[in-house]
Structure 1
């Protein structure tokens, strides 16, 4: 910054306190989330499990879709439960006024604010003896009976009580329930291979789970819900639906079993569209290396575009493109192209082709519904060697979430945008 005559350093222009900066207008990309799709997906999932209630899992900021707006849409679609892995997520739902559905939280370490959760009528999972002790203490502080779900490790080898630990803990559970500190309202577990419906572990875990439920009931407890099915099992295995199913990724319109069927095969619609604008468009000569390490070299004179999103925004670096294979797909001007060269922290390059007529500001779709032949989150997962879950949940926090409702009567064919964060 140069000094004006007189040697006075100019003062920077700062917006006044409280001024609202439009996140969408300031950032050249956005994740557009269609709440109508989330509602419709929950209805489809309920139809796949007609004998069970639906818990919409909204952990990880609703798989990157925005916690509170997505939760509300899921409830409007028929979900009577919400699943929030972290206690903070569950409390955020309650603070935002999401009070109608039951909310379950399950992943916490010693010292978590369980008294706040109990006071907010959040159901709490117990997966270890120390957890029961902390839930009982929390109930006493909150002066409210804690609603507890006993988590059983039926073979995933992750969080949960082994069947032996469950049996050993039940006397303490019964004492806590007799005291009025807890009420056991659920028994649950999680499948290791639900995305491979024919895998023998699915049946084996279902058997261990049935034994665990019998153990709990024979001890004199009468849980209101048993739940085992995630998205994949909700869509493919009615035998494990029990009283409650817990779909996660399917709520947001992505298939948990892409080898079996895509979203449309299960009546699902992807809710998120990740889009940006071209920042720079220019002609480069043949033999020009693009991006770091010149992994991609132009085979001819061509037009390239700079898309101002990168791995800091959630674009996987593993989806870089080069002579050894195309990068992640991009939709530009009705054409599906690919990332050319390394994915950078804040940008990627796309080879638009010789004579391309795109200009700065033109829309680029990284992924969306795929209805128009454009790329999907699954296409990016394939390009990066991962799963679609990771693609949507990794969209960075600096990317504004814009929630729209394509079913709202007042919007017609337009999409009224609401910035969630």
Structure 2
């Protein structure tokens, strides 16, 4: 393997002129760091194509690092894991009428139930297949998204317990999700914990004995010990990014960035002073200079509002995008530094600016920066296990 290929520049990436390398050793490191800190079992959250990092590859690496559960939003994501041969416990939590309940039940996928219609759908699938379905009950403790309200909770718990006694299903977990875990001292955190504890008490009285109770995402797992229960759900921290400034930076938390987004210059040319650059001429050259074209744009996930703001490492120096971010490309002002077509530019990653820095200048969060990198950018996974 060539040096370029070891760095992710495979023939496919070279043909595209851009690559997102995914360091699975960094992912394993991050998961172990978090696991040692929290002292509970860990669910690795690999929804949304593992936050843009590659669903199957990241799921396998997470299991190798000790994750006892995998978590996805969509049932189709869970089914895809099974079709790829991924075994072990998998939880899905965002179903709609018409979701593949039969496929989930048949493949031993734990399905979240938040309302009677979902419970009925799982039970119908279990009866058609003649097996016992595994479900987890979700409480809306204050986020006001999916999950049963406290008013509806006793009826949902009673119905689930009746089906469990009947042998149609097993309630394997009870869980909830925080609204403000990235602000650990927010008053809603304590209110949600109290409501979750009340819901657990009601479930216990009804006779439910779940394997796991869980409430914590990355932020809560790292910053709110009372939220750890039996299991924590680790998403963004597994990918080496901070779950929020009040929790700490990735470096402070001992995390390593997993994704690096890089490209190769597609054009290098000298232009005179006063040259307008890109659409709208939001940038003009202050003197004679060298401009480079980087072949990634908003169709690849580069935020358009990073125009004149997005940081890049090019020709050995950190710079910003010059002018408007286009659909397929951005321009960078290289000054008088030496550069040639094909030179590497780091958009974000373990070298150069981080995805969190991109998030800061774009007024968003690191989650969005990595998950929005589009399919036109090849993913090359480093550190794939040979097993």
Q: Same fold (TM over 0.5)?
A: yes
Instruction: Judge conservation of contact 2:307–2:321 (CA < 8 Å) in 1.
Output: yes
For residues 63-74 of structure 1, the aligned pairs below 5 Å read 63-74=51-62
Where in structure 1 do 4 or more consecutive aligned residues deviate above 4 Å? none
Shift of 1:251: 0.7
Work out whether residues 116 and 142 of structure 1, in 8 Å CA contact, stay in contact via their aligned partners in 2: no
Match of 1:24 in 2: 13
State the secondary structure of the residue aligned to 2:341.
Answer: coil
Greater shift in the superposed pair: 131-140 or 163-172 = 163-172
TM-aligned CA deviation for residue 26 of structure 1:
2.1
2:342 maps to: 361
Give the alignment partner of residue 328 of structure 1, picking from 303, 306, 310: 310
The within-5 A match list for 1:178-193 is: 178-193=165-180
What is the rounded CA distance, in whole Å, between the counterparts of 1:161 and 1:180 in structure 2? 23
CA–CA distance in 2 between the matches of 1:209 and 1:356? Answer: 58
Alignment-derived partner of residue 379 in structure 2: 401
Q: Contact between 2:19 and 2:262, CA under 8 Å: does it hold in 1?
A: yes
Once residues 65 and 141 of structure 1 are traced to their aligned partners in structure 2, the CA distance between those partners, rounded to angstroms, is 36
Of 301, 314, 335, 1:314 maps to: 301
1:94 matched to 2:72? The reply is: no
Match of 1:62 in 2: 50
Give distance in 2, aligned partners of 1:111 and 1:257.
35
Q: Distance in 2 between matches of 1:296 and 1:117?
A: 52
Report the Cα offset of residue 267 of structure 1. 1.7
> Which of these two proteins has the greater Rg computed from alpha carbons?
1
| Counterpart check, 1:160 vs 2:141 | no
2:284 & 2:147 partners in 1: Cα distance?
51
Say whether 1:148 aligns with 2:135.
yes
Q: Deviations over 1:4-25 (max 9, x none)?
A: xxxxxxxxxxxxxxxxx95323
Contact 1:59 1:67 in 2 (8 A): yes
Aligned to 2:125: 138
Which consecutive unaligned segments of at least 5 residues does structure 2 have?
A: 1-9
Alignment of 1:128-277 (within 5 A): 128-277=115-264
Q: 278, 294, 309: which is aligned to 1:291? A: 278
Deviations 1:230-267 (A, max 9, x none): 00011111111000000111111101023442112112
Aligned partner of residue 94 in structure 1, secondary structure:
helix
TM-score by length of 2: 0.95
- Deviation per CA, 1:117-158: give whole Å up to 9, x if none: 011000000011100000101111222211110000000011
The CA distance in 1 between the partners of 2:13 and 2:164, in whole Å, is 50
Q: Cα RMSD between the aligned structures? A: 1.4
Is 2:315 the counterpart of 1:337?
no
Contact 2:217 2:232 in 1 (8 A): yes
Structure 1: which 5+ residue stretches go unaligned?
A: 1-20, 322-326, 410-421
Q: Does the 8 A contact of 2:311 with 2:353 survive in 1?
A: yes
Aligned equivalents of 2:337, 2:211: Cα separation in 1 = 62
C-alpha distance in structure 2 between counterparts of 1:391 and 1:127, whole Å: 30
